[in-house]
């Protein structure tokens, strides 16, 4: 199965070409908003939207046939996503244009792209480095998105289909435990401490609270300025999270590839809803919900696929309470061998970092999934009359 990767490339545009791109993006976004406002919200099918407003789009905004079709497809796609989130599509603000193979082409011999504008077809040179050249070499991209950066430059985000390498066969599995104290901790002992990250996030939270208070008071100009600063702060915090998650995921995948290992993660789907049901302070709720763990998992998934590393999802139940040495948990369901960052097993006596223990348990589970014909996981009960509660729920036949 092929994998679609996005390659962002800066465009070299002359003054006349820039004017054509501006006119095209303005017309495209205006057409998006017009279609969204003048068609029933329940219509999420691109073909139905096209039958309703295709000719009107071309007459009002001067878009070509294929660009008019792209408008209908983009509105339909946005409405489908909004329906899943139970909220309507209010407005398209960002200036962009989507292209398919009929109105976009890439030429490797001179590293240029051809784009359809409101004033005809134009060819643009790409200002790219070795990474982009390596990704685009030998490819035949079928779609792209034209965007304008805040500094006024233009960028084309080209979608490239790559066939990922065959996943390596291995018996070795690296377990990765996600958490708040340590953003990620591997069974090999690598960890990314979250204390510095928490300080940065707390700083953003305090700054955001101050700006929100000021945005509701003061003069009109001061309120407007505070809202602008809040928007800029949101983008800065989001970019910081993306950078950290990229760095962590790259290190984990590189380590797994170098040691010919698979990667095992906990399947934390729905954990935010479950955790939020527990009584906690407002600050604790914010710290738990503000980090993008699902984004980190997505980065790991696609980087592992590109590198040919197998990625395994395991159930998270009892992974932090089970001793990875003897696979026992505390006999009292109300207690645990784990206390904060430390773990001391009352059965075999192992003592160490709690996140390292959890990562090792995840690695054991991943090994069972990766090699289902193996011996499995089970605990050895030294006493016949030992309470059954000491048996680990991770036991498999």
Check whether residue 147 and residue 293 sit in a common domain.
Answer: no
Closest residue by Cα to residue 368 from 392, 347, 341: 392
pLDDT at 173: 92
Which one has a higher pLDDT value, 85 or 145? 145
Between CA 278 and CA 290 the distance in angstroms is 17
Q: How far is residue 364's CA from residue 376's CA, in Å, rounded to a whole number?
A: 9
Residue 390 has pLDDT above 50, yes or no: no
Q: How confident is the model at residue 372 (pLDDT cuts 50, 70, 90)?
A: low
Distance between CA atoms of residues 294 and 301, nearest Å: 10
Q: Is residue 216 part of a domain?
A: yes
**How many whole angstroms separate alpha carbon 40 and alpha carbon 83?**
13
Q: Which of 32-46, 214-228, 341-355 has the highest mean pLDDT?
A: 32-46
Q: Which of 314, 330, 346 is the last residue of a domain?
A: 314
Q: How far apart are CA 288 and CA 276, in angstroms?
A: 9
Residue 273 lies in a domain: yes
Whether residue 207 lies inside any domain: the answer is yes
d(CA 44, CA 72): 9
| Residue 54 confidence (pLDDT) | 94
Tokens read off for 162: 């790559």
106 shares its domain with 216: no
At 39, list the tokens: 């068609």
Sheet holding 154-162, edge to edge: 96-99, 143-148, 154-162, 3-12, 120-127, 112-117, 104-107
Q: Is the pLDDT of residue 214 over 60?
A: yes
DSSP at 389: G
Question: Residue 29, class by beta-carbon neighbours within 10 Å (0-12 exposed, 13-18 middle, 19+ buried)?
Answer: buried
Q: CA nearest 97: which of 32, 160, 42?
A: 32
User: Looking at the 3D structure of the chain, how many domains does it have?
Assistant: 2
Query: Given 162, 195, 225, which residue is the final one in a domain?
Result: 162
Question: Looking at residue 19, what is its pLDDT?
Answer: 94
For the question of whether the overall pTM of this predicted structure is more than 0.75, the answer is: no
On whether both 11 and 158 belong to a single domain, the answer is: yes
Instruction: Select the more confidently predicted residue: 234 or 138.
Output: 138
Whether 225 and 126 map to the same domain: the answer is no
Q: Does some domain include residue 370?
A: no
Pull the structure tokens for residue 349: 């006596």
Same domain, 32 and 85: yes
363 in any annotated domain: no
Among candidate residues 114, 133, 162, the one where a domain is terminated? 162
246 and 148 inside one domain:
no
Instruction: Report the alpha-carbon angle 35-39-42, nearest 5.
Output: 120
Does the structure show a pLDDT above 70 at 284? no
Residue 96 lies in a domain: yes
* pLDDT surpassing 80 at residue 196: no
Strand 182-186 to 191-193 pairing? antiparallel
Q: Is position 44 within any domain?
A: yes
Are both 153 and 181 inside the same structural domain? no
368 close to 377: Cβ distance less than 8 angstroms: yes
* 333 lies in some domain: no
Shared domain check, 179 and 108: no
113: domain range?
3-162
């Amino acid at each position: 199965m092929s994998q679609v990767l996005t390659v962002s490339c800066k465009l070299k545009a002359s003054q006349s070409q820039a004017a054509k791109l501006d006119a095209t993006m303005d017309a495209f976004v205006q057409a998006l908003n017009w279609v969204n406002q003048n068609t029933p919200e329940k219509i999420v099918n691109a073909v139905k939207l096209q039958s309703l407003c295709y000719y009107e789009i071309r007459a009002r905004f001067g878009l070509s046939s294929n660009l008019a079709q792209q408008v209908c497809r983009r509105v339909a796609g946005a409405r489908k996503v909004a329906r899943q989130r139970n909220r309507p599509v209010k407005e398209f603000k960002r200036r962009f244009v989507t292209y398919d193979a009929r109105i976009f082409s890439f030429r490797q011999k001179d590293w240029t792209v051809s784009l359809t504008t409101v004033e005809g077809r134009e060819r643009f040179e790409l200002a790219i480095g070795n990474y982009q050249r390596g990704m685009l070499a030998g490819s035949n991209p079928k779609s792209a998105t034209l965007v304008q950066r805040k500094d006024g430059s233009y960028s084309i985000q080209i979608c490239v289909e790559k066939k990922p390498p065959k996943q390596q066969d291995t018996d070795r599995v690296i377990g990765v435990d996600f958490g708040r104290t340590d953003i990620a901790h591997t069974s090999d002992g690598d960890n990314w401490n979250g204390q510095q990250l928490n300080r940065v996030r707390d700083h953003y939270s305090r700054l955001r609270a101050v700006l929100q208070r000021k945005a509701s008071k003061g003069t009109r100009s001061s309120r407007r300025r505070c809202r602008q600063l809040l928007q800029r702060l949101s983008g800065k915090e989001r970019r910081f999270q993306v950078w950290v998650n990229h760095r962590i995921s790259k290190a984990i995948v590189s380590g797994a590839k170098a040691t010919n290992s698979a990667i095992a993660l906990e399947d934390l789907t729905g954990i935010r809803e479950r955790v939020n049901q527990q009584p906690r302070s407002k600050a604790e709720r914010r710290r738990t919900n503000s980090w993008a763990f699902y984004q980190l998992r997505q980065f790991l998934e696609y980087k592992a696929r590109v590198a040919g590393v197998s990625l395994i999802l395991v159930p998270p139940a009892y992974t932090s309470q089970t001793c990875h040495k003897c696979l026992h948990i505390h006999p009292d369901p109300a207690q645990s061998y784990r206390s904060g960052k430390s773990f001391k097993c009352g059965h075999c006596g192992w003592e160490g970092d709690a996140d390292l223990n959890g990562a090792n348990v995840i690695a054991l589970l991943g090994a069972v999934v990766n090699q289902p014909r193996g011996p499995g996981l089970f605990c050895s009960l030294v006493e016949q009359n030992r309470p059954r509660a000491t048996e680990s729920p991770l036991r498999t036949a």
